Amino acid sequence: MKATILSFSGKQDLLEGLVGAGAILLGAEVQRRYGLRTPVFIDLRTAIYTDLALFSLLGSSFAEILERWSTPETPQQVIGVPDTGIPLATAASLASLRQGREPFITLSVLRKQARIYPGEIVSEFVGRPDPSRETNLIDDVVASGGSLRRAVVRLRESEIPIGRIVVCVDREQGGVDALADLGIPIYALFNLAEIGAFCKERKLI
């Protein structure tokens, strides 16, 4: 199984920007920076946060996609997977508000670890998920699926149903298959095959 790959306006510009900024690393550069032997490495943790225009475009792309499921009866909210998914979800929510979308996409943050207050009050979130809204779990990539599974388990323990998972890149490493038993549809802005074809066309690899 693979994630459903999404089309959206500015998709080519976003991919060009991610490659140009080094958020998508290729070949020898992956070996040099990380010591890994893989032709493509996705690194959204560094590059996009120093390029606010690119970060904004990525947030707008997520917002545009999520608006497809938004209606007055089913407004949307985003929750990011710690750590990298949190700023992506935040960017999507802010883009939705900035663009005047109605109803705009709201945000809550899943803590990396639950915080326990006096009286054994457990807080899993910064902010509060809205039970009247459909939840979109956001992350940078799906690779093995481990971090996404852990986030889903925690949300379900908090009785937060998840409408879908949306990631920037499906690395096509079996993660979507590994998550199939959860019964949650998975969508991606790009997959590894699409990125590879783009880079070959530009003679980058």
- What confidence tens digit (pLDDT) does each residue in 24-80 have? 877 777 767 766 677 677 888 888 888 999 999 999 999 999 999 999 999 999 999
Residue 100 has pLDDT above 90, yes or no: no
3-state secondary structure the chain: CCCEECCCCCHHHHHHHHHHCCCEEECHHHHHHHCCCCCEEECCCCHHHHCHHHHHHHHHHHHHHHHHHCCCCCCEEEEECCCCHHHHHHHHHHHHHHCCCCCCCEEEEEEEEEEEECCCEEEEEECCCCCCCEEEEEEEEECCCHHHHHHHHHHHHCCCCCCEEEEEEECCCCHHHHCHHHCCCEEEEEEHHHHHHHHHHCCCC
Can you give the pTM of this predicted structure? 0.92
The Cα 105–Cα 165 span in angstroms is 15
* Average pLDDT along the chain: 89
Give the residue extent of every domain in the chain.
4-9+52-192
Residue 171 has pLDDT above 80, yes or no: yes
Give the least confident one: 29-38, 81-90, 121-130, 147-156.
Answer: 29-38
Residue 11 has pLDDT above 80, yes or no: yes
Among 164, 111, 203, 155, smallest CA distance to 4 is for 164
pLDDT for 123 equals 84
> Considering only the top CATH level, what class is 4-9+52-192?
alpha beta
Give the least confident one: 102-106, 165-169, 175-179.
Answer: 102-106
- Rounded to an integer, the average pLDDT of 124-134 is 91
- Rounded to an integer, the average pLDDT of 93-117 is 89
pLDDT for 86 equals 95
